[in-house]
Structure formats: structure tokens, C-alpha cells
Amino acid sequence: MKTKLYFEPLGEQHDRAAFSSGIAAVDAYFRGDPIRQDVSRRVTNAFVLTPDGKFVAGFYTLSPISILSVDLPPSLQKKLPRRPIGATLIGMMGRDLSLRGTGVGETLLMDAFHKAWRASKLVSSWAVVVDAKQGARDFYLEYEFTPFATHPGRLFLLMKKIDLMFE
Amino acid sequence: MAATVTPMGNETAQKGRQRIDVRLRPEQKSEIERAAQIKGLTVTDFIVQNAVANARQTIREYDAWTLERPDAEIFAAALMEPAVLGPHLAQAAKNYRRRFLKS
């Protein structure tokens, strides 16, 4: 399939019901009410990759979170403020099963980076973080995310690295 | 089993409420009933209060991450390192830029 895909914010025109990533938690979130509620309450923004404004090749969500570092050794303390810092969370990401192995996941991730990077020029963000669902951890590790030790599903990529991708 | 006391005004408070049906093992149920009795709550109140408190905590932790050691160290150590892109990530970014940012 060589149709030109493009990104746009999730809207009613997208065929959410037909989407299937094969991951139950992702599908339940995207096909059901949760994503619509989260978007309408401004808890998250959702973006869709589509060839025609209807079919959903993939999607992801972005929302702000804060990270507070406590209990740092003095040698590292000067690097981080003692108050919460902003970061950008990819809360959910999924591509349609029919597009498995076509690099759609990478495209989704790069677009998420690009949007997070642009937003960080207006409202500061130190990192893109992700709460990887089952099986997705390896995918993020391929793109240089660093896992946390006590929450192995949580990974981060510093914005200063993402700066290098778009500047 | 202790009788369930229905407080006054409960009738109106019930309006607009929704149900969740859950299945659980007999021993889990009797444990919950025992705990509710100790706290002087109905089983429903006990379950709802605990589940809601747990849900709020989960949401709070999702929106605000508190990093303790060693996670805070991992994060701070990454900040100390110079930013360098590996070849795979650099190529992925290049492909994306060519495809989506050049118009």
C-alpha cells in the first residue's frame, strides 16, 4: 500500500470501530468511549495517521505529566530542580494489525516526538515518557528510550536528544 | 452476617447510580465481608470506598511521577550525559522529516 498517509487530530470522521491493534488494552481505549472522553475533557490529545481521513492506520495520545525527583545524591542534585518538572507522555499508541511490519510504529513515534518537540518550545518539557504496554517495551528500547529501574514499563527519552532530531 | 442498615435518604442517593458486577472467589468475598464488618461499613460501601481511593491513587501516580532512587539517579545521570543520537534513531528522524516535513 503506497497511499500517502498523513496525520490529523482524532475526530468523529475516523472509523474507530474498525481499528484493531491486537492489543486488548489499546483497542478498548481507542474503540470505546475512554479516548473520546479524555479528549473532550482535555486530559489528552489524540492524533491519527490516515490515508483518507477515515481509516485509522495508527494513533497516539499526548498529555502533560510532571516528574518530581526526590532523594537525589548531592552530586546529581544541581541537575534537577527540587520541584516537579514537565514532561510529555505518550499515553497510548497503536497501529492497525493490517499494517504490522510496515514501519507505521516508527512513523507514529517520530510524529509524537515532533509534536512534543514543537510544544516544548512554548511550554517546557524535559522528556518524552511512555508507559509501555505489554510487549511494547522492546520497541521503545530500539529508539533509545531509557527504562526506569523500579517501573520497567516506564521509559523516557530526553528532549535534548529530540532537539537534535529536528533542529 | 450483619444486617445492612440503610441510612435515611439513601433512596435519593441511589438515583443515577450505576452497577458493576464482579465475580470473586468465596474466600475473597468472606474476607471482604469480615473487613467491612470490622470497619462498620456495608460491603458495598467498603468496596466502593476502597476501589475509588485506589483508582484516585492510580490516576495521581499516572499524572505525576515521583522518582525515588534509583530512578531519580537514572534520570539525572542521563541529563549529565551529552546528547548524541544513535544511527538508528537519526535515520528514523531523517526518514520522517523527508516524508512529513518537506512540502
Question: Is B75 inside a domain boundary?
Answer: no
Give the domain range for residue A110.
Answer: 6-166
Q: Report the alpha-carbon distance of residue A50 to residue A28 in Å, rounded.
A: 20
- Which chain B positions have a beta carbon within 8 Å of A50's beta carbon? none
Interface residue B55 vs chain A (CB under 8 A): no
Q: Do residue A67 and residue B70 have CB atoms under 8 angstroms apart?
A: no
Chain B's closest residue to A149, CA to CA, is B71
Q: Do residue B68 and residue A150 have CB atoms under 8 angstroms apart?
A: yes
pLDDT in tens, chain A (167 residues): 457 999 999 999 999 999 999 999 999 999 999 999 999 999 999 999 999 999 999 999 999 999 998 878 888 888 788 889 999 999 999 999 999 989 999 999 999 999 999 999 999 999 999 988 778 899 999 999 999 999 888 999 999 999 999 98
For residue B31, name the pLDDT band (cuts at 50, 70, 90). very high
Q: Do residue B90 and residue A165 have CB atoms under 8 angstroms apart?
A: yes
The end-to-end CA distance of chain A, in Å, is: 31
Q: What digits encode the pLDDT tens for the residues B59-78?
A: 887 788 889 889 999 999 99
The CATH number that applies at residue A36 is 3.40.630.30
Q: How many structural domains comprise chain B?
A: 1
Q: What digits encode the pLDDT tens for the residues A6-49?
A: 999 999 999 999 999 999 999 999 999 999 999 999 999 999 99
ipTM: 0.92
